Amino acid sequence: MISPEEEKFYLQWEKDRVLPHFKRKPFLKGLSLSLLFGILILILTELGWYERANMIANRSGNGIWMLIAIVIFSFGFAWIYQQFTFEMNEQRFHEIKNLKNKK
């Protein structure tokens, strides 16, 4: 038996799945999570939590490279998170479609 929530999702996703895969909301959610994680890494680095990592970081480069790396990884993670949410919605759509076809 399909719940009204699943039926609503099925009808909405049936329309949305033909649109381009880029959706702003999951991309921004993934970007904010990854930037938050990057800021946490910067804070731990500045606090001197791990001495050996600080010695290597201070010896081999400056902070701008670390910021560039965090931004690049953040955008990559945001894109992966966006693709992941699309695939999860697509899988849910197919499961509901199979339940409807069994009836």
| 14-37 average pLDDT score | 85
pLDDT of 60 > 70? The answer is no
Residue 41's domain comprises 24-102
pLDDT of 69 > 90? The answer is no
Provide the pLDDT confidence category of residue 73 given band limits of 50, 70 and 90. Answer: very high
Query: Distance of alpha carbon 33 from its chain centroid, rounded?
Result: 7
Mapped onto helix, strand or coil, the DSSP state of residue 90 is: helix
From CA 62, how far away is CA 60, in angstroms rounded?
7
pLDDT of 1 > 80? The answer is no
Closest CA to 83 of 37, 2, 20, 7: 20
Total domains in the fold of the chain: 1
Mapped onto helix, strand or coil, the DSSP state of residue 10 is: helix
> Given this model, what pLDDT does residue 96 score?
92
pLDDT of 17 > 90? The answer is no
Query: Would you say residue 1 lies in a domain?
Result: no
57 Rama sector, left if φ>0, alpha if ψ -120 to 50, beta otherwise: alpha
Query: Would you say residue 14 lies in a domain?
Result: no
Query: Would you say residue 79 lies in a domain?
Result: yes
Contact, 71 vs 42, CB < 8 A? no
Provide the pLDDT confidence category of residue 32 given band limits of 50, 70 and 90. Answer: very high
Query: Would you say residue 16 lies in a domain?
Result: no
Query: Would you say residue 77 lies in a domain?
Result: yes
State the distance between the two ends of the chain, measured CA to CA, in whole angstroms: 9
